[in-house]
Structure 1
Amino acid sequence: MQHAPADDLGCIAPWLAARGLGPRRTAFYEGDAAPPLGSFDRLLILGGSMNVDEEALYPWLTAEKRFIAEALAAGKRILGICLGAQLLAEALGARVARNPVNEIGWFDLTLSEAGRRSPWFADFPGVYPAMHWHGYGYELPRGATLLASSGLSEQQAFEYDGGRVLALQYHPEVTAANLRRWLSDEHLDAASGLPHPAGMAEDLAAFATANRLTYAMLDRWFGSNA
């Protein structure tokens, strides 16, 4: 599920194409209807610039939240990224609210003990850089397992129901091209103390490492029947 033209699959698109997997795009913000629950095996919920509590500005969020709740109840395997992770947390009964500070740029993730044992992050470094772009965060849903944290956000990744549901607050999918587009569309608060946007999209080695780790995680999560 996509929430804005600029928030696309990123590096996930070529990973899917290489495996002959043709994703069905659903965009509630464009008026798309919810796909029948029997028509898909995996649900990927992408990011977006809106927040989970902005139904008044984005009325389609109400229908999307209902669909996510139905997919959870139906036992679907779901991967949520950034806004997608927050929508999953809320659907699982957790509080989602604005963070004290926006988290925008390259920040280290630290895997929890459970994260280091998780098959999704097997052989990952215990600490590694990831791209972040969010101002909201979530509390850990009841019954979920914390997998990763950052210095600004304790909740960066969780799994639920043995990994059937995987939520990532950071952006594993982002490429340099994605980020350049975001930087051209968004305004960063210069007083926030966060990295200057001029350098955020230029660390190609960081993108290469992050995308490689994303592919490893996708290989494991998509290939699992958890």
Structure 2
Amino acid sequence: MLKTAVAIRHVQFEDLGSFEEVLERRGYRVHYYDAGVDPLWTLEPVKTELLVVLGGPIGAYEEAGYPFLEEELRLLQARLAAGRPTMGICLGAQLMARALGAKVYPGPWPEIGFAPIRLTAEGRESCLAPFAEEGATVLHWHGDTFDLPDGAVRLASTAVCRNQAFAWGRNAIAFQFHPEARLAGFERWLIGHACEIARTEGVTVPGLRADADRHAPAIEERAARCLSRWLDGLDV
């Protein structure tokens, strides 16, 4: 039976990336809702088989300027309370943390670029296991961080960001980093985030481009295994 995966997108170039192909192979029909454009109130909060809230360059606490964030928080609260499969990536992870009662706030400094994550013992037993392999690298692109929600299990950390991934039960997972990032389309990230790159010390467009060429193919392969493991473990 065909299943539905809804992805809430905040900027066009931060889409499902390499995850989209995996979902389609697994029998999901993917639909995008563009935050601030498409009316989120039309989403039935529990019915859809999978909800993914994607990244974006705004803060999860900026609902005064971006009122649609309140709709996203209500949607996440309803899904999480119902135990429905839910994933958050970057901003989406921060919104999930807020929906679960945790605080989101600016981190000590921006974390932008390709670097490893450090998995916890629980993380090594989770869907993130492919990223425990030697040389595994992910894409980081965030300035904010969040506290670990009550009842959540920390799966990964970095020196800059203690909470890089968490699970909340079997059906909810949040990634502060970008496991979905792929080489195809990465140039759009460099254009769309040009101002952020320019004001971040030690980060350059040529450096990010070269690192993407070097690391993205392996990230895509590990991400496919990561998502498949998570989908296999869902309690639905």
TM-score (norm 2): 0.88
Spell out, residue by residue over 1:22-77, the C-alpha distance to the aligned partner (whole angstroms, 9 max, x if none): 11222231132331134311111111111111112211111111111111112111
Partner of 2:103: 95
Partner of 1:63: 71
- Structure 2's unaligned 5+ residue stretches are 1-7
Partner of 1:109: 117
Is the contact between residue 22 and residue 228 of structure 2 (CA under 8 Å) also seen in structure 1? no
Offset, 1:123:
4.9
Partner of 1:52: 60
Offset, 1:129:
1.3
1:4 and 2:47 are equivalent in the alignment: no
Spell out, residue by residue over 1:117-175, the C-alpha distance to the aligned partner (whole angstroms, 9 max, x if none): 22x123542563110110100111111111101121111001112x3110000001112
1:152 and 2:166 are equivalent in the alignment: no
| Pairing partner for 1:32 from 34, 39, 42 | 39
TM-score (norm 1): 0.91
Paired-residue identity, %: 34
- Distance in 2, Cα, partners of 1:66 & 1:36: 12
- Structure 1's unaligned 5+ residue stretches are none
- Distance in 2, Cα, partners of 1:81 & 1:112: 19
1:82 and 2:90 are equivalent in the alignment: yes
1:193 and 2:201 are equivalent in the alignment: yes
| Pairing partner for 1:133 from 129, 135, 141 | 141
- Distance in 2, Cα, partners of 1:126 & 1:19: 24
1:177 alignment partner, SS class:
coil
Offset, 1:9:
1.1
Query: 1:19/1:189 Cα in 2 relative to 1: closer, same or farther (>3 Å)?
Result: closer
AA of the residue aligned to 1:74: A
- Distance in 1, Cα, partners of 2:16 & 2:197: 26
RMSD over aligned Cα atoms: 1.8
Offset, 1:216:
0.5
Query: 1:122/1:176 Cα in 2 relative to 1: closer, same or farther (>3 Å)?
Result: closer
- Distance in 1, Cα, partners of 2:56 & 2:21: 21
Is the contact between residue 89 and residue 141 of structure 1 (CA under 8 Å) also seen in structure 2? yes
Partner of 1:173: 180
1:29 alignment partner, SS class:
coil
Offset, 1:191:
5.8
AA of the residue aligned to 2:225: A
- Distance in 1, Cα, partners of 2:22 & 2:180: 10
